Structure 1
Amino acid sequence: MNNLTLALDGAWKVLLVSLLLGAGLPALFAVGVRSTAMGVGGDAEVDHARPHPIGRYLADLCFLVVLTGVALGITIVVASGFGKAVSF
Structure 2
Amino acid sequence: MSQFSEWFNYEASLKILFFSMLAGAALPGLFAFGIRLQAVGAGAAGAEGTTSQKNPVLTGLAWLIYALVVTVIVIGVLYIARDFIAHHTGYPFLGAKLK
> Would you say same fold, with TM above 0.5?
yes
> Over aligned residue pairs, what C-alpha RMSD do you find?
2.5
| Cα pair distance change 1:78/1:12, threshold 3 Å | closer
Question: Residues of 2 paired with 1:13 and 1:68: CA distance?
Answer: 21
2:49 matched to 1:49?
no
Equivalent in the alignment of 1:15: 17
| Cα pair distance change 1:72/1:56, threshold 3 Å | same
Match of 1:60, as an amino acid?
W
Q: Would you say how many aligned residue pairs link Structure 1 and Structure 2?
A: 83
Secondary structure class of the residue paired with 2:33: helix
Q: Which of the numbers 76, 80, 85 marks the counterpart of 2:83? A: 80
- What TM-score do you get using the length of structure 2 for normalisation? 0.64
Question: Residues of 2 paired with 1:19 and 1:78: CA distance?
Answer: 20
2:76 matched to 1:68?
no
Percent sequence identity over matched residues? 28
**Rg comparison, structure with higher value:** 2
- How far residue 51 of structure 1 moved from its aligned partner, in angstroms, is 1.9
- How far residue 57 of structure 1 moved from its aligned partner, in angstroms, is 2.6
Equivalent in the alignment of 2:41: 39
Secondary structure class of the residue paired with 2:94: coil
| Cα pair distance change 1:23/1:40, threshold 3 Å | same
- How far residue 33 of structure 1 moved from its aligned partner, in angstroms, is 0.9
Question: Residues of 2 paired with 1:77 and 1:8: CA distance?
Answer: 20
| Cα pair distance change 1:78/1:9, threshold 3 Å | closer
Question: Residues of 1 paired with 2:19 and 2:32: CA distance?
Answer: 19
Match of 1:23, as an amino acid?
A
Residue ranges of structure 2 left out of the alignment (5+ in a row): none
